[in-house]
Chains A and B, each alone.
Chain A
Amino acid sequence: MKKFFYEVGSTTLFFTDSVRLMFAKPSRMPDMIRHMKFIGNDSVIIICLTGVFTGLAMSYQIYIGFNLVNATNLVGPTVALGIFKELAPVLTGLIVAARAGGAMAAQIGTMRVSEQIDALEVMGVNPIQYLSSPRVLAAVLTLPLLCGIFDIVAIQASELLCVNLLDLDKAIFWNKIELWIRPRDVMEGLIKAAVFGLTFATVCCKTGFYTKGGAKGVGDTTNKGVVYSMVLIIVLNLLVSNLIRLYFSLVESF
């Protein structure tokens, strides 16, 4: 229990430092753009691939169910809602946490055990500002973009299956989506993606930063960073969904 509270406390402190130093001088903008390329650009193919197959599989399963009750016209909006609000942000978060988060923890962990972080400190460079802040900011900005790509690709794949193979009407497919999906549904997913980006980048940078030991230590912290990130993404998904819904309902009530 003591260890749990210690972990939560130290991660919170690391997170506040990373955010506080994001816009401190000297500017780390070039580093941030480099990290955005690594987190974003290099993840596009795997996100597209996941989006296509998620869209196809989900559409087919929902079609089978809705066909039993003669409601196949609602396959489009049901798939869209599931993807925009839940599957796109969660799967994007999990995939990028495993791919980029693991790499972040391993890289920073290696820098720790090979004294590169000590070298930064003795050169008068704040290692959190240099290593963590640009990565966290890059992840926060990039994850919603990747989530948007996932949304587009998955819904296009769904249309492809529903219209060309399951003989649903294209106009009805899109009309029902327009009718049932509100901009806030898409926004909810994008906001969640940004929160997941913040979560995995902070957790992976922090675990890497406090690596102890040699190669085994780096392996352990990489594993720890990825596992903690994934669990947190799944747990936070429920929490953030409810917070966003609460926020929107409060806004609408005023």
Chain B
Amino acid sequence: MEMAVEIQDLKKSFDGGKSFVLNGIDLVIPADKITMLIGFSGTGKSVLMKHILGLMKPTSGNIKVFGKNLSQRSEQELIALRCQMGVLFQHAALFDDMSVIENVLFPLSEHRRDLSKARRLEIARHKLKVTGMDREHDQKLPAEISGGMQKRVGLARALALDPKILLYDEPTTGLDPILTEMVDNLILDTHKLHKGATSLVISHDLMAAFRLGDYIVMLDKGKVLLRGTKEEFLNTDNEFIRKFIDKGIRRS
């Protein structure tokens, strides 16, 4: 199986080694699959995502993306790598002074200047269409559309450069059950539509992890507790994971 991301003994400390947010992470994220990264708040999920994106440097350890170590890449190579990754942020992180269409056009205007303006506009409109946005919203500002639509636009922007890896940072946190289901379906549909793309979804929603994930990774105190399929999770003897599953199932 081809691996999109390989992480070896990753450690990250923000206080000079007194405590570690990530404390020896060993993890592989297979290509063309949906991997769910779950865990309680403050377990280092978002910090791990920033390391994969090359936005943070590890205190020690290695991260390989598409087979090449991030520490061996120059700044230009890292920028080129980030263009192959798309991120849907928790609150979509749309640029609030740009319209819906301008938000989706932005990465294309930055990195695909070889294309004509008309072609870029065509791509942006197509990406909005596949995420379920009507053209009537093109000229609206992010503040003028609903939270669910903002997520759709955020996803369309993440897809603009046809990334090989899609990262979702707690995409359903704070949403009502209907919107949560909509976003979950959007992730599944997007994954099916983009053949060969690797998806990494950060969440603390256990049911979503079971529903969406080909693989589930559970983090606790900066370490990987378990990486496996849904069945492996349900049959685990680990006391902590069993509690997490029981609480998650009861809540849902």
Contact = CB atoms under 8 A, between A and B. Distances in A.
Interface string A122-141: 11110000000000000000
A116 B96 contact: yes
Q: Determine the interface band of chain B, counting residues with CB < 8 A from chain A.
A: 20 to 34
A114 B110 contact: no
Contacts of B225: none
B113 A26 contact: yes
B101 interface: no
Nearest to A126: B79
B110 A124 contact: yes
Q: How large is the interface on A (under 10, 10 to 19, 20 to 34, 35 or more residues)?
A: 10 to 19
A115 B89 contact: yes
Given A26-B110, A26-B113, A118-B55, A124 B80 contact: yes
A42 to B, nearest CB: 15
Nearest to A25: B113
Contacts of A124: 79-80, 82-83, 107, 110-111
B87 interface: yes
Contacts of A123: 82-83, 106-107, 110-111
A121 interface: yes
A49 interface: no
B111 to A, nearest CB: 6
A249 to B, nearest CB: 45
B206 interface: no
Contacts of B218: none
B93 interface: yes
Interface in B111-162: 111, 113
A114 B154 CA distance: 13
B95 interface: yes
B53 interface: yes
Contacts of B57: none
Interface of B: 53, 55, 79-80, 82-83, 85, 87, 89-91, 93-96, 106-107, 110-111, 113
13 contacts: A111-B95, A114-B96, A115-B91, A116-B96, A118-B93, A122-B55, A122-B87, A123-B106, A123-B107, A123-B110, A124-B83, A124-B107, A124-B110
Closest 8 A/B residue pairs (Cβ): A115-B93, A124-B79, A119-B93, A124-B82, A122-B87, A115-B89, A123-B107, A124-B83
